[in-house]
Amino acid sequence: MAATLTPATETGARIMAWADTLAVHTEQPGMLTRTYLTDAHHGAAAQLAEWMREAGMTVRRDAAGNVIGRYEGTTPGAPALLTGSHFDTVRDGGRYDGNLGVILPVACVAGWNRQGKRFPFAIEVVGFAEEEGVRFKATLLGSRAIAGTFDTNVLDNADDSGKTMREVMRAAGFDPAGLPAAAHQREQVLAFVEVHIEQGPVLLNEGLPLGVVTAISGATRFIVEFEGLAGHAGTVPMDMRRDAAMAGAEIGLYIERRCGGLPGLVGTIGQFNVPNGAANVVPGRAVISIDIRAGEDAVRQAAVNDVLAEIERVCARRNVRVTVRKTHEAVSVPCAPWLQTQWADAIARQGLPVRHLPSGAGHDAMAIAAIADVAMLFVRCGNGGISHHPTEIMTAEDAASAAAVFSDFVEHFDKSSARQQ
Ligand SMILES: [Zn+2]
């Protein structure tokens, strides 16, 4: 029996097909790698621009290479509801991370354009040229340009071939001197909303297609070096050791206990090195990384303080010298309550359960928060929630639900509720 194609399922299928088409633009055949201002990146930008034009939008590129499609409101030149996400990828990444948040709104605008529907505000869909930081080791380039917070020092960063970002931009026809003009004026942006695949297993495990993001988690990172005393694995008795690796291991287990059980708080030791270690040597040195994140800064800070105190205690007891170096700190970016409410209302109107959750990963919305209230809609990630990986998947049904909720959100979008909060 043939299934009836509703407009929503048609849109869902179109989004999935577009994601496949866009994934063809890669630097490495057989995998998806699309870094800033490579040929693959230019190809994807041209494709996005074409879909935007077909959807009735005027398209421009700014100095950072962002692709900006504008769907005018009933009054030309009106302030815009901004949406979008990034179209660069990590190496061997997934096809929905970032890209979904660009193609989904374009598919929705195409629907309104067919119906001749306009809103009292403009809609701007931004394909952010760079978010992941792969090529030039600097992240959020596209969204920072639009927020007016682009750090021009990174123009001197070089890629693996030794070309600086400045050279690469000029060669591609983007003038770094034009970056300040890429900044959007606060009065011209009503809000920024980003649709993004969850990149984690929460919605999947709870059987929910969509989630409202409460905040983009803040993060603190450390590199911790332990210095004990190397010795012979056979001859140094256990109670006479100053084992640097075991100090690191004990800290690791403490972090797991301390960060466990509190929703939104996570702690990770992603690197654990025993330099020049050997099977028959008690480790004299160990180096670990620590990454602690939480949606609420106070929760993160309390965990960081406890971990630092535990490092002192453990190293004193084990007679191990320790140096702790903070390598990164970012405060959390809360999603605006009025926008969260409007996402939740749109989800409920579509007959779906409403779930709120923090984002443990960083997103373009973090940068745009400098000029506008921001909020995000998460879409269920299949395959155990894996992302930044070729096996990242989502379903056409969830794409359809997300498109229906996004459309509903825009159709009911009301900035006046911002002032009541
Ligand atoms: Zn992303």
Please, what are the domains in the chain? 7-216+332-419 (3.40.630.10), 218-330 (3.30.70.360)
CA of 406 to the centre of ligand 1 (A): 18
Q: What is the three-class DSSP state of 369?
A: coil
Specify the pairing of strand 374-379 against strand 189-197. parallel
CA of 97 to the centre of ligand 1 (A): 5
- Residue 382's CB: how many other CB atoms inside 10 A? 16
pLDDT tens digits for 214-233? 999 999 999 999 999 999 99
| Interval 165-179 mean pLDDT | 97
Q: From ligand 1's centre to the CA of 127, what distance in Å?
A: 12
Arithmetic mean of pLDDT over the chain: 96
Q: Tell how far the Cα of 90 is from the centroid of ligand 1, in angstroms.
A: 9
Ligand 1 centroid–CA 196 distance in Å is 7
How far, in Å, from the CA of 86 to the mean position of ligand 1? 6
Please tell me the total number of residues recorded for the chain in this structure.
Answer: 421
Name the region of 361 (left: φ>0; alpha: ψ -120 to 50; beta: rest). Answer: beta
Distance between Cα 77 and ligand 1 center (Å): 30
Q: Tell me if 22 sits within 8 A of 48, measured CB to CB.
A: yes
**Ligand 1 centroid to residue 98 C-alpha, Å:** 4
pLDDT category at 418 given cuts 50, 70, 90 is confident
Distance, CA 88 to ligand 1 centroid (Å)? 9
> Which protein residues have their CB within 5 A of the ion that is ligand 1?
97-98
Of all residues in the chain, the percent with pLDDT exceeding 70 is: 98
At 1 the pLDDT is: 43
* Nearest in space to 288 (alpha carbons), one of 275, 277, 273: 273
- The model's pLDDT over 358-383, given as tens digits with 9 standing for 90+, comes to 999 999 999 999 999 999 999 999 99
pLDDT digits (tens, 9 = 90+) for 254-268: 999 999 989 899 999
pLDDT in tens, 93-145: 999 999 999 999 999 999 999 999 999 999 999 999 999 999 999 999 999 99
pLDDT band at 68 (very low <50, low <70, confident <90, very high): very high
How many angstroms separate the CA atoms of 14 and 399, rounded? 9
Q: How confident is the model at residue 420 (pLDDT cuts 50, 70, 90)?
A: low
